[in-house]
Amino acid sequence: MPTNPLLYTSGLPPFNLIKAEHIVPAVTEVLANANKDFDRVEATLTPDFRPTWDNLLKPLDIIDHAVFRVWSPVGHLMGVMNSDEIRKAYETVQPEIVKFGLKTSQSKKLYDAYMKIQSDPSGKSLPRPRQRIIEHAVLSMKLSGVGLEGAAKDRYNQIAQELAALKTKFSNNALDSTKAWSMTLTAKEELDGLPDHAVALASQEHNRATKTTESTADKGPWRFTLDAPSYIPFIENSKRRDLREKTYRARIAIASSGDFDNSPIIDKILSLKQEQAKLLGFSTYAEQSMASKMSGKVAAVDKLLEELLAASLEPGKREHQELETFAKSKEFTEKLLEWDIPYYAERLKEEKYQYSEDELRPYFPISKVLNGMFDLVRKIFEIRVEAADGAAPVWHQDVRYFKVLDDKTGKQLAAFYLDPFARSGLKRSGAWMDDCMNRRKDGAKLDLPVAYLVCNGTPPVGGKPGLMGFDEVHTLFHEFGHGLQHMLTVVDDAGAAGINGIEWDAVELASQFMENWLYHKSSLLSLSGHVDTNAALPEKYLTKILAARNYRAASIMLRQLHMGLTDIELHHRFNVGGSETTHDVFNRIAKRTSVLPPRPENRFLCAFSHIFSGGYSAGYYSYKWAEVLSADAFAAFEEAGLDNPRAINETGLRYRNTVLSLGGGEHPSVVFRQFRGRDPSTKALLKHSGLL
């Protein structure tokens, strides 16, 4: 066995052994071997060579798999255990990773070989997933500059390297800027209105940051940060308007000044993407992006977003007027500003539905939520999830490991890691699912899929287990939905297995689908159990949660549309260096989508990692595009009868055998029709959102 744990060739990544100093030598070695192996494959691609799946795609898959096994855990650690040492190693080898990717994707010999397979009768008779892998490879190579020559090719490659470095820098700046700000309170009256769990977490955070035990929840000091488990309870509950303003202003200024300023990076990223698109023959980067999306054209995206905007704007205005009226009734005489809206929205919700989010939290200990979620998917999809803690090396003590089995046969299908809690300064914000291992068959050997499910939930405080807010339960269900699509695949070729090869604007279907179950009474009940007594969520709360499902739904929709329209505008119509800045665009779009325009100093874009360092460039609309699919998919269960176990199981198996099983092995529109029997409709989404 190699001495470098990143070079282990089988089993799960040995996270208990991997250190920053292993990264550079491991990546250097695997890339040296990969380059040699690729050169050997390419040398066989002579004019008289007849390429097939076995003599071309299999050797390439072996090369890709070797690089993936080393690079995937490195990228994962950058997200969940970020450190100066890991960053330095990552940034040292990233250019070589990009260089290798460009080498393989710009090989004209390989491109010609793919085209030969596509035109050959044997290629046309390949199973559909393999045809899709080749189709995606051809398109990916076109979008990677395989048709470029000379100076154009050199410039394309230079841009690719620059973009990779800029995206990493953007992400690091957002993390470092978030980490750099905190607010320490010392007087009890400064905590007025805050829920107990937020105060306890602030005390715990002070002790973590100072490496002391001086703070107690009762006496402080209390340290608040911009991480979601700290920020959200504060902005929604603090009675101190001045402190809410201070915290809000810090939040909208993340990564917008000093050493962490992402504004120039945004301009550079947009400029380079536009230049890249034109090198490839597209008029804008958004058009380049749509070439590989389900939507196909910017016009189709504009049509969907405008349709949703038209349905949401007037209801959004009514919601804001209702909030203003309510605030005045509580003797608030000032103008309602951004740091007031979350506070009064929570108070109005409490008055309308007679409960607070903090009242719910004790009913959702994470262990109970997990057991309820696992029981739900057992009933719907006939799978069984079993805890396997200790069976896999982990990167942090909070991480858990689970196996997924077929409930009828007991056969293991997959596994996943769950990293549920926020880690200040070490873990990037948000939540995500990623692939640790892909389903991949090589002869008699079958690698089962393994997923990473990463959240930033509230960590355990005050000796209690992790207690989840309802929004955190939402997030967990969302990521588990992604995980199910990765883990329940039946495709044996990694390039189309699970989430691989699915058009980007369809990937949120499986995740958003799972969220709908939180509004089914018996499903929600099964997730709850009071942390002290295990008493189920009382009927009064169940009824109120269901009634509150569409509370401020139009406002939430408008916020998503604001981000989606801004993303398209920046990547399709914006001119870097023109009279408008990117922040001007953000504010201009807001005039159409926001009842209360954002403050001129709002720099949200500087931390908008989805589109500047993630995979959602000219693709943020995907959440809404896929939500149409997910709402319509869930409507099939509603039509079958949500309280009819047999009908739900039958519909669930049909969903499992199409949406969850086929992965990228078939076009998502075909998969949806196989499940639903027709094309998708927006009616279910508008109905679920209370906007019909």
Which residue numbers are catalytic?
Answer: 479
> CA-based angle 67:69:74, to the nearest 5?
95
**What is the biggest distance separating any 2 CA atoms in the chain, rounded to whole angstroms?**
84
- Calpha distance 410→383 (Å, rounded): 9
The long-range contacts involving 308-313, CB below 8 angstroms and separated by at least 24 positions, are: 308/557, 308/561, 308/624, 308/682, 309/558, 309/561, 309/565, 309/592, 309/593, 311/686, 311/691, 312/554, 312/557, 312/558, 312/561, 312/691, 313/554, 313/558, 313/593
Look at residue 389 and give its three-state secondary structure.
Answer: coil
DSSP assignment of 467-524: B--HHHHHHHHHHHHHHHHHHS----SGGGSTTTT--GGGTTHHHHHHHGGGGSHHHH
- Residue count of the chain, please give it: 692
Q: Could you give the residue ranges of the DSSP H alpha helices within 81-149? A: 84-105, 108-119, 121-124, 128-143
Give every CB contact of residue 220 below 8 A, 6+ residues apart in sequence: 185, 186, 187, 188, 202, 203, 206
Burial class of 406 by CB neighbour count within 10 A (0 to 12, 13 to 18, 19+): middle
Between CA 188 and CA 200 the distance in angstroms is: 13
Whole-angstrom distance, CA of residue 31 vs CA of residue 14: 20
Phi-psi region of 126 (alpha: psi -120 to 50; beta: other; left: phi over 0): beta
End-to-end CA distance of the chain: 61
Contact indicator for 260, 236 with CB cutoff of 8 Å: no
Say which residues have a Cβ less than 8 Å from residue 639's Cβ, sequence separation at least 6. none
Strand partners, 383: 406
Q: Give the span between the Cα atoms of 276 and 270, in whole angstroms.
A: 10
How far apart, in whole angstroms, are the C-alpha atoms of residue 514 and residue 518? 8
Instruction: Tell me if 100 sits within 8 A of 34, measured CB to CB.
Output: yes
Reference 136, options 491, 620, 633; nearest CA is 491
